[in-house]
Structure 1
Amino acid sequence: MMVLVKQGINTCVSLCIFCLSATDFLSTVAGFCSLLSRILMYLNIRRGFDPFAFYFFMLYMYAVLYDVSNTLTAFLSLERCLCVCLPLQFKDIFTFWRSVTVLVYIYLLCFGLLLPHFFSSGLEMRTSENYTFLALWLSPDRAAVEIYIGVVHFCQTIVVTSTVFVCTLLMIVSLNRSSKFQGGKKKGRKLNKNLEIESRGKNKESSGGTNTQQEGDEKISGNNPEASNGSILRGAKLLVKDHQKSGQTIKGLKSIRRNSDENTKPSRNLNVIKTVIALCAICFICNLMKIGVISATHLEPRFQFGKEYENLFEIVLAVYYVFQLLNCSLNIFVYYTFNQSFRKVLLHFICCKQDK
Structure 2
Amino acid sequence: MDAAAGMNMTLETEDSNTTLDTPTVLPYANLMYFWAANVVGPVGLAILLFGLTTNITNIVVFLKVGVKDNVSTLLLSLSISDLTFIILTLPSAFGIAYSYFFVSTRHWPFDYRFVHFLFYWPAYTVYDISAFISVSLGVMRCACVAMPLKFKLVFTKRRTVITVFALFVLAVSLRVPVLTIFRVAWRTDPATNASSAYLAVFNREAMSRINDVLSRGLVVWINYAIMVSCVGLLSFKLAQASRIRRSYTSKGHHQTEEKSNLVEDRLTPKDLQVIKSVVLICSIFILSQLPFMLYSTARLINPEFTSSSRMQNLFGFFSQLGSTCSYLNASLNIFVYYNYNTKYRTVFLSMLRFGNKK
Does the alignment reach a TM-score above 0.5? yes
TM-score, scaled to structure 2: 0.73
- 2:174 counterpart of 1:113: yes
Q: 1:181 to 1:119 in 2, by over 3 A?
A: same
- 2:294 counterpart of 1:292: yes
| Candidates 327, 336, 339, aligned match of 1:337 | 339
- 2:68 counterpart of 1:10: yes
Cross-structure match for 1:37: 95
Cross-structure match for 1:77: 138
How many Å separate the matches in 2 of 1:154 and 1:57? 23
* 1:60 to partner: Cα distance: 0.9
| Candidates 291, 294, 317, aligned match of 2:319 | 317
Letter in 2 for 1:121: F
Superposition map of 1:83-232 within 5 A? 83-128=144-189, 130=192, 131-139=194-202, 141-151=203-213, 152-186=215-249, 190=253
Contact 1:74 1:163 in 2 (8 A): yes
* 1:133 to partner: Cα distance: 2.5
How many Å separate the matches in 2 of 1:308 and 1:60? 24
Identify the structure with the greater helix proportion. 1
What CA deviation, in whole Å up to 9, does each residue of 1:187-244 have, x standing for no partner? 6663689xxxxxxxxxxxxxxxxxxxxxxxxxxxxxxxxxxxxxxxxxxxxxxxxxxx
Cross-structure match for 1:64: 125
Cross-structure match for 2:54: none
* 1:6 to partner: Cα distance: 0.5
Contact 2:292 2:319 in 1 (8 A): no
Contact 2:291 2:318 in 1 (8 A): no
What CA deviation, in whole Å up to 9, does each residue of 1:75-131 have, x standing for no partner? 001011110121123223211111111111001100111223333431111245745
Structure having the higher Rg: 1
How many Å separate the matches in 2 of 1:93 and 1:5? 24
Q: 1:306 to 1:143 in 2, by over 3 A?
A: closer
Cross-structure match for 1:277: 279
Q: 1:133 to 1:38 in 2, by over 3 A?
A: farther
Contact 1:117 1:145 in 2 (8 A): yes
Which consecutive residues of structure 2, in runs of 5 or more, have no partner in the other structure? 1-58, 257-263
How many Å separate the matches in 1 of 2:68 and 2:324? 33
Cross-structure match for 1:51: 112
| Candidates 37, 54, 79, aligned match of 1:21 | 79
What is the Cα-based RMSD across aligned positions, in Å? 2.3
* 1:12 to partner: Cα distance: 0.2
Aligned residue pairs, count? 284
Letter in 1 for 2:229: V
How many Å separate the matches in 2 of 1:185 and 1:103? 40
- Of residues 324-333 and 307-316 in structure 1, the stretch that sits farther from structure 2 once superposed is 307-316
How many Å separate the matches in 1 of 2:152 and 2:242? 22
Contact 1:85 1:174 in 2 (8 A): no
Q: 1:98 to 1:138 in 2, by over 3 A?
A: same
Q: Secondary structure at the match of 1:87?
A: coil
Contact 2:227 2:286 in 1 (8 A): yes
Contact 2:81 2:129 in 1 (8 A): yes
TM-score, scaled to structure 1: 0.74
- Of residues 119-128 and 78-87 in structure 1, the stretch that sits farther from structure 2 once superposed is 119-128
- Of residues 173-182 and 287-296 in structure 1, the stretch that sits farther from structure 2 once superposed is 173-182
Contact 1:85 1:171 in 2 (8 A): no
Q: 1:54 to 1:83 in 2, by over 3 A?
A: same
How many Å separate the matches in 1 of 2:297 and 2:139? 26
What CA deviation, in whole Å up to 9, does each residue of 1:245-264 have, x standing for no partner? xxxxxxxxxxxxxxxxx9xx
More relative contact order, 1 or 2 (CA 8 Å, 6+ apart)? 2
Letter in 2 for 1:59: Y
What CA deviation, in whole Å up to 9, does each residue of 1:265-297 have, x standing for no partner? 922211111100000110001111110110122
Contact 1:20 1:73 in 2 (8 A): yes
Q: Secondary structure at the match of 1:135?
A: strand
How many Å separate the matches in 2 of 1:36 and 1:326? 17
Letter in 1 for 2:227: V
Q: 1:192 to 1:86 in 2, by over 3 A?
A: closer
How many Å separate the matches in 2 of 1:87 and 1:171? 13
How many Å separate the matches in 1 of 2:351 and 2:317? 39
Contact 1:157 1:287 in 2 (8 A): no
Letter in 1 for 2:231: T
Q: 1:90 to 1:46 in 2, by over 3 A?
A: same
What CA deviation, in whole Å up to 9, does each residue of 1:6-27 have, x standing for no partner? 0000100000000001111111
